[in-house]
Each structure stands twice: as structure tokens, then as C-alpha cells.
């Protein structure tokens, strides 16, 4: 529709138990964490959160933005 926002995805960020933000993956699948909010990678699929959770030692939380 013209002039109407049609993006209904719910974006979220992921944080670990050290209060670091998920910033992506590197070197073939290692998780990259950052202490800076600006580095946080917004995600839109909860399956990605479950994958990050399964690859992380400790707790992770999801926060909708």
C-alpha cells in the first residue's frame, strides 16, 4: 500500500549473561559479542535466537526493540 509501513517484523537484540550484545558470527561460526549497543545486530526470527542460545554457554536474553 502506498505510504503505509508494511514491515510488521518484530526486531530484537540478544544479550548474554555478561551484559554483552550479540554482534554477529565470524571465523566460520564463532559468536561475536560486544559491550557496545551500537554493535548489536538486530534479528527478526526467533529461530535465530534459539540457535544462538544453543551455541552459548550461560544465559542469553532476547529484548524486542
Calculate mean pLDDT across residues 34-54. 96
Mean pLDDT of the chain: 91
Judge contact between 15 and 46, C-beta under 8 A: no
pTM to 2 decimal places? 0.83
Judge contact between 22 and 13, C-beta under 8 A: yes
pLDDT band with cut points at 50, 70 and 90 for residue 52: very high
How open is the CA angle 48-61-17, to the nearest 5 degrees?
120
pLDDT band with cut points at 50, 70 and 90 for residue 28: confident
**Other beta carbons within 10 Å of 59:** 10
pLDDT band with cut points at 50, 70 and 90 for residue 64: very high
Give domain limits for the chain: 12-64
Amino acid at each position: 500500500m502506498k505510504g503505509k509501513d508494511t514491515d510488521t517484523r518484530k526486531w530484537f537484540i540478544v544479550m548474554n549473561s555478561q551484559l554483552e550484545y550479540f554482534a554477529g558470527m565470524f571465523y566460520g561460526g564463532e559468536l561475536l559479542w560486544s559491550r557496545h549497543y551500537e554493535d548489536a545486530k538486530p534479528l527478526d526470527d526467533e529461530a535465530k535466537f534459539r540457535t544462538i542460545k544453543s551455541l552459548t554457554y550461560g544465559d542469553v536474553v532476547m529484548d524486542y526493540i
